[in-house]
Amino acid sequence: MGTLLEVRDLRTEFNSESGIVKAVDGVSYDLQEGETLGLVGESGCGKSVSALSLLRLIPNPPGRIVGGEVIFEGQDLMKLTERQMRSIRGNKIAMIFQEPMTSLNPVLTIGRQLTETVELHMGYSPEAAVRRSVELLEMVGIPDARSRLSNYPHQFSGGMRQRVMIAIALSCTPRLLLADEATTALDVTIQAQILELIKNLSTELGTAVIIITHNLGVVARYADRVNVMYAGKIIERGTADEIYETPRHPYTRGLLGSVPRLDVDREDRLASIEGMPPDLDRLPPGCSFVPRCPHADDHCRAEMPPLSSKDGTEHVYACWKGHEFGPLELVQTQA
């Protein structure tokens, strides 16, 4: 299985009244064909912006991609012309979004929003496009697909609409699917169905998936590898098991600590991470987690730790003291 995607030192900035916001501040990761990668972090850490940057969908103004390379199937997407980029969007790389209620055009039929993708990228004739659309709707589990083609988005439930979004995204059997908080707005039972659907279809079609979410449970269950993001940077990367058993970066440990666990009795208070996420336009020098890190010292304050691992394994982290932490005790009493 070759490398499908290589992101090297991706930088995306926004200029707001109070200065330049470094939403994505030098992000690098790679993705193998058919692999499912997790991108997790609190809201505002830049995970959605990095996904949109891949497709160069950053609204300008106020945003701009200022650096980095995105090698996809041997091509650097950042060097492509807008026309070349358009032939990739929706065709080779597809994306689904968080809000099913507003992600579909209210005044166009579901059929129209399905057929237009295949007609555009695959050159289908209108009749072939309709047949393909019915196939797609059945593939995502929507009953009597043919008659539902002429319906409008407001006639579908949230879950059904997300299924349509998935049908649209997978209509041209893309090589990569970006799922940006795809299930966050759905209630739990529907969430599981949608995630199962994405998992089965991606393995069936050999599509690599990047799951972007703040929900650690989703990442644990569905992602092969996990990147934890904080303040525009990746601060820890490893397989799901490595991250969950021995989280190296204090932020990851804090995250895992704040998740209620079934196998732990419930009297203790949940540990929470102090303070608020930093203002991305006034980042302190050194490690940006310093203000909230109980273990921070002068070294952390002075210099930003690189993404590395003491023992050379794939499980890397951006923390000088990362190697000192052992596996996460299940019961952590707050001092």
Partner 1 sequence: MAIEATAGGQSAFDQLVQEARPKRTVAQNLKRFARRKPAGAVSAVVLILLALIALFAPVIATHDPIRDQVAAERLEAPSSSHFMGTDNLGRDVFSRVVYGARISLQVGFLAIGLGTVIGMIIGVLSGYLGGKLDLVVQRVVDVLMGFPFIILAMLLVVALGASLLNVGIALSVAIVPRVVRLSRSSTLSVKEEVYVLAAVTIGVSLLRMVLRHILPNTLGPVFVLATGALGGVIVAEAGLAFLGLGIPPPSPSWGGMLNIGARGYMEAAPWMVIFPGIALSAVVFTFALLGDALRDVLDPRLRRGDS
Partner 2 sequence: MQKYIARRVLLFIPTLLLASVLIFGILRILPGDVALAILGQEAVEGGGGYTETQIRELREELGLNDPLPIQYAKWAWSMVNGEFGGESIRSTEPLSSIIARRLPVTLQLTVYTVLLSIIVAVPLGVFSALYQDKWPDYVLRMGAILGQSMPNFWIALLLLLFMVTQIGWSPPLGYSNIWVDPFHHLQIMIWPALILAWRFSAYMTRITRSGMLEVLAQDYVRTAKAKGLGQQLVVRRHSLPNVLIPVITLGGLEVSTLLGGTVILENLFGIPGLGQAIVEAAVGRDFPVVQSLAMMLVFFMLGLNLVVDIAYSYVDPRVRYS
Residues that bind partner 1 (CB under 8 A): 14, 16-17, 48-49, 52, 58-59, 62-63
Minimum CB separation from partner 2 for residue 71, in Å?
20
Identify which of 149, 180, 234, 166 has the alpha carbon closest to the alpha carbon of residue 52.
180
Task: Report the C-alpha gap between 167 and 174 in whole angstroms.
Answer: 11
Q: Which stretch binds partner 2 (CB under 8 A): 101-109, 134-142, 287-295, 303-311?
A: 101-109
Query: Coil, helix or strand for 97?
Result: coil
CA-based radius of gyration for the chain: 21
Closer CB to partner 2, residue 162 or residue 288? Answer: 162
Strands (E), the chain: 3-16, 19-32, 36-40, 63-72, 75-76, 93-96, 176-180, 208-213, 225-230, 233-239, 316-317
Q: Does 115 bind partner 2 (CB under 8 A)?
A: no
Task: Report the C-alpha gap between 20 and 13 in whole angstroms.
Answer: 6
* Dihedral over Cα of 273, 275, 280, 286: its sign: negative
Q: Does 110 bind partner 2 (CB under 8 A)?
A: no
Of 24, 55, 142, 218, which lies in the binding site for partner 2, with binding defined by CB under 8 A? 55
Q: Does 63 bind partner 2 (CB under 8 A)?
A: no
Closer CB to partner 2, residue 120 or residue 128? Answer: 120
Minimum CB separation from partner 2 for residue 201, in Å?
17
CB 1 within 8 A of CB 224: no
Q: Which stretch binds partner 2 (CB under 8 A): 90-98, 193-201, 213-221, 290-298?
A: 90-98
Q: Does 64 bind partner 2 (CB under 8 A)?
A: no
Closer CB to partner 1, residue 46 or residue 278? Answer: 46
Minimum CB separation from partner 1 for residue 48, in Å?
8
Closer CB to partner 1, residue 95 or residue 318? Answer: 95
Query: Coil, helix or strand for 39?
Result: strand
Q: Does 199 bind partner 2 (CB under 8 A)?
A: no
Closer CB to partner 1, residue 266 or residue 282? Answer: 282
Task: Report the C-alpha gap between 94 and 278 in whole angstroms.
Answer: 31
Distances (CA, A) of 160 to 34, 107, 146, 166, 263: 25, 17, 15, 10, 34
Q: Which of the choices partner 2, partner 1, none does residue 319 contact, using the CB cut-off of 5 to 8 A by kind?
A: none
Count of positions on this chain that bind partner 2 (CB under 8 A): 29
Residue given tokens 């440990």 in the structure block: 253
Closer CB to partner 2, residue 171 or residue 288? Answer: 171
Closer CB to partner 2, residue 110 or residue 197? Answer: 110
Closer CB to partner 1, residue 63 or residue 322? Answer: 63
Q: Does 75 bind partner 2 (CB under 8 A)?
A: no
Q: Does 126 bind partner 2 (CB under 8 A)?
A: no
Of 5, 165, 176, 194, which lies in the binding site for partner 2, with binding defined by CB under 8 A? 165
Q: Which of the choices partner 1, partner 2, none does residue 63 contact, using the CB cut-off of 5 to 8 A by kind?
A: partner 1
Strands (E), 17-137: 19-32, 36-40, 63-72, 75-76, 93-96
Q: In what order do the strands lie in the sheet with 225-230?
A: 93-96, 176-180, 208-213, 36-40, 225-230, 233-239, 316-317
Task: Report the C-alpha gap between 243 and 227 in whole angstroms.
Answer: 9
Q: Which of the choices partner 2, partner 1, none does residue 150 contact, using the CB cut-off of 5 to 8 A by kind?
A: none
Task: Report the C-alpha gap between 306 and 192 in whole angstroms.
Answer: 36
Interface ranges with partner 2 (CB under 8 A) = 55, 57, 83, 86-91, 94-95, 97, 99, 102-108, 116-117, 120-121, 152, 154-155, 165, 168
